[in-house]
Amino acid sequence: MKIAPKNRVQRALVAGAAALALLGSAGCSAISEQATTFSYAASDGIVADIGPIDLRNLMILAADAESQGRVLGTAANTSDSPVQLSLTVGGSNASVTVPANGQIRFEQDENETTLSSPGGIPGSIVDVTVQVNSDSEVVGVPVLDGTLPEYAEFVPGGTPAQTTAPTESASPEATETASH
């Protein structure tokens, strides 16, 4: 026994239902933008483009708000001439020259760049004025400490855990109970 629509109205209804089912199975992607088309910071630092300089994964590492802060991340120069890059936060300033069509990776020892103050406590976002030649922009940059092991070696002066390692000693109570 074959069931088939008998008139044009039924055929139109069946075709409409099939079209709605097809749209429903396509999900939200038919009306939403693709997440992969957005640029974002995939790590703990920020992404910013100021003039010919592309900053990637920019962050400041410090043990606390009163200690020195070390800049981490990459500054890439997209122009055909060297560019002066200056970072200012809370009255502290650091400056580097990024080579033409080159980059500076602040993690490398030869590019170590420190600020006299990180501008805030670890865990905060501080306003950093980034100046590239005559272009200037204020960006929010995270301040991190050495809690994450991948950053511990970059904290100026070491992390508190590195500078004051606790020593293990037996308490009198533990010795007393162990001897009974």
53 vs 31, residue with greater confidence: 53
Q: In this structure, how many other beta carbons lie within 10 angstroms of the beta carbon of residue 116? A: 14
The per-type count for the chain, helices as H runs and strands as E runs, is 4, 9
Topology of domain 46-157 in CATH is: Immunoglobulin-like (2.60.40)
Q: Averaged over 129-144, what is the pLDDT?
A: 94
- Domain-by-domain residue ranges, the chain? 46-157
Q: Averaged over 146-158, what is the pLDDT?
A: 88
pTM for the predicted model, two decimal places: 0.68
Of 56, 111, 46, nearest in space to 78 by CA: 56
pLDDT at 172 over 50: no
Q: What residues form DSSP beta bridges with 69?
A: 115
Structure confidence at residue 120 (pLDDT): 94
pLDDT at 5 over 80: no
